[in-house]
Amino acid sequence: MSNHRIVAEPLTQKAFAPFGTVIDKSAVAPRSMNAGRARRFHDLAQVGVVGEDGHVVIGYVEAEPYDLPLAVSLVERHPLGAQAFLPLNAAPFLVVVCPDAGGRPGRPRAFVTAPGQGVCYAMGTWHGVLTPFGAPQDFIVIDRAGPGVNLEEFTFEVPWAIQIQDGRALDF
């Protein structure tokens, strides 16, 4: 197996903890609300922001699926705010993150979400682009708006090949 090939693993809070929070309602007990006609799964993730006049915003993203094989070498990070992605259906999507290695992304790790899971990338976490596969997918995105440069991008010289469990390769 090439040095630039990794296998995507199931998304778990323990494995993802160095990069942020897995948003998964099964991690908390629900609270009853609306006279018992609704259940609230409270405090699933915190979206912190820094910088003068920075504030949390909510957006909606309609994402097209990536064809396989996927050829992408770009990762990004947001130094002024966390960024959360909540899928609006149960379809899985690919999550790629990298540890910081002296201001540059280190060796990537890849995760495939379980039905209904989302992620909240911690401030400054290198991560791949939003990557649904198999079908279009819509997401609620919660992140930072305001003044300041909150996007850094990095392009790998040699793309990474990510293999998912059914054997299909996704190239990064």
Domain architecture of the chain: domains with CATH: 13-25+53-171 (2.60.120.480)
Average pLDDT score, the chain: 89
- Which secondary-structure segment (H or E) carries 16? helix 13-16
| 8 Å CB contact between 22 and 13 | yes
Read off the pLDDT band of 1 (50, 70, 90): very low
Mean pLDDT of 107-136: 92
| 8 Å CB contact between 52 and 80 | no
Which residues neighbour 45 within 8 Å (Cβ) at sequence distance 6 or greater?
Answer: 20, 21, 23, 82, 84, 118, 120
Residue with tokens 């699933």: 44
Q: Could you tell me which residues are beta bridge partners of residue 10?
A: 112
pLDDT of residue 134: 83
| 8 Å CB contact between 36 and 43 | no
Mean pLDDT of 8-21: 95
DSSP class of 92: -
Between vectors from CA 56 to CA 51 and to CA 59, what angle results, nearest 5°? 135
Lookup: tokens for 7: 């296998």
Quote the CA–CA distance of 139 and 84 in Å, as a whole number. Answer: 10
- The per-residue pLDDT for range 18-45, each reduced to its tens digit, is 999 999 998 889 999 888 988 999 889 9
pLDDT of residue 69: 62
- The per-residue pLDDT for range 44-75, each reduced to its tens digit, is 998 999 998 999 999 999 999 986 666 558 99
